Amino acid sequence: MSLITHPHARELTKSVRATVLVFKDPRSVELLNRIERLAPSEANTLIMGETGTGKELVARHIHGLSNRRNEPFVAVNCGAFAESLVESELFGHEKGAFTGATSSKAGWFEAARGGTLFLDEIGDLPLSMQVKMLRVLQEREVVRLGSRTPIPINVRLVAATNVNLADAVVAGNFRQDLFYRLHVATLRLPSLRERPGDILPLAEFFIEEHCQRLGYTRATLSPEAERKLLSHSWPGNIRELENSIHHALLVCRNQRVQPEDLHVVDMRSPVSQISAPPAYPALPDESSSNSLQDALNRLFEQNLPNLYDHIEETVFREAYRYCHGNQLQTGRVLGISRNIVRARLEKIGEIAQSPRSASHGTLKL
């Protein structure tokens, strides 16, 4: 577990995790105003936004603008831990609480005492943990595993999600009571294509930061490169923009970024259609759902063993192939989080077991 405080964040990560925030487009300026109004309150806050829209950065900013700014900011990725470990990681444990608990350990709630606890990808929190989380929020105290003594906690909770939690409630994957607890204040981060006025200022910002870091003379964008940046749909949002600028700086000549230096994959495929609801209502057409039904009926008739596992495995394997091995995209196609995709792909042996899901989780910085 690490304690992360805002001013040192950049030292902890390769990306230029901004200590500067770029908010130029009118929609972003509006967002920033809202952040500034919400931050000093003690309200639990739910940040919603597509991947790479800056949820974690905004959470840090909220902390930095709050009265808790000199206290810890603890970031926790709820999807990064095996279900059996989540409880002890969140609430801590006493020595001997379970096999392998050789010493007692404080959980994240205790580590964040007085400060802010950032629960990233809250939608991935197992249902069993959601009940316990709710109790902690109501009682404002935690009990370590293997202990009976409640420890009072004083944390502000900021949670983030890139799945629609209201839908997850309807689908039975997220508890409604916890949803309302978290939903006190909400911030929806617009995707980059909804705030096009930020594209060039962000590109300039990343050029500046990366050139400095790489020890390069400051590069510039050609007008054609600017046009290419403006016309791309940025499904990976700000992170994708940062990566493509980083790559362009490594390959461009004479400190001038040309369109061919910018590696962007245009996803005007069914995948991006799903993530753009207003233009593309995502209703499956009748013929495709009928053929799916037919295929299922044929399978039912065959009386196969482990049919459910087989179907689930096929869905993940095929979606992963369809997305050319891109986990993020696979999650988007299936409408679930990248962490769930990764866990399932590991389970079916499509990808190697990552050390973090194999044993202890790592914090995402």
Ligand X SMILES: Nc1ncnc2c1ncn2[C@@H]1O[C@H](COP(=O)(O)OP(=O)(O)OP(=O)(O)O)[C@@H](O)[C@H]1O
- Residues of the shown chain interacting with ligand X in the complex, contacts defined by CB under 6 A: 15, 17-18, 21-23, 49, 51-57, 162, 202, 205, 238-239, 242
Report what 108 binds from ligand X, Mg ion, none; CB cut-off 5-8 Å by kind.
Answer: none
CB of residue 255 vs Mg ion: minimum separation in angstroms?
32
Report what 57 binds from Mg ion, ligand X, none; CB cut-off 5-8 Å by kind.
Answer: ligand X
Report what 331 binds from ligand X, Mg ion, none; CB cut-off 5-8 Å by kind.
Answer: none
CB of residue 239 vs Mg ion: minimum separation in angstroms?
9
Report what 106 binds from Mg ion, ligand X, none; CB cut-off 5-8 Å by kind.
Answer: none
Question: In terms of Cα–Cα distance, which of 157, 178, 153, 158 is closest to 168?
Answer: 178
Report what 53 binds from ligand X, Mg ion, none; CB cut-off 5-8 Å by kind.
Answer: ligand X
Task: For ligand X, give the closer residue by CB, 276 or 365.
Answer: 365
Task: For Mg ion, give the closer residue by CB, 56 or 240.
Answer: 56
Provide the binding-site residues for Mg ion, judged by CB under 5 A: 56
Task: For ligand X, give the closer residue by CB, 87 or 121.
Answer: 121
CB of residue 56 vs Mg ion: minimum separation in angstroms?
4
CB of residue 16 vs Mg ion: minimum separation in angstroms?
15
DSSP letter at 185?
E
CB atoms within 10 A of CB 301: 8
CB of residue 225 vs ligand X: minimum separation in angstroms?
19
Is 337 within 8 Å of 331 (Cβ atoms)?
Answer: yes
3-state secondary structure of 73: strand
Distance of CA 70 to the CA centre of its chain: 25
Report what 181 binds from ligand X, Mg ion, none; CB cut-off 5-8 Å by kind.
Answer: none
Q: What are the phi and psi torsion angles at 186 (to 5°)?
A: -130, 150
The residue assigned the tokens 């006025």 is 197
Distance CA 203, CA 216 (A): 16
Is 218 within 8 Å of 207 (Cβ atoms)?
Answer: yes
Q: Which residue number is nearest to Mg ion in terms of Cβ?
A: 56
Task: For ligand X, give the closer residue by CB, 243 or 269.
Answer: 243
Is 216 within 8 Å of 248 (Cβ atoms)?
Answer: no
Q: What are the phi and psi torsion angles at 151 (to 5°)?
A: -115, 120
Task: For ligand X, give the closer residue by CB, 57 or 267.
Answer: 57
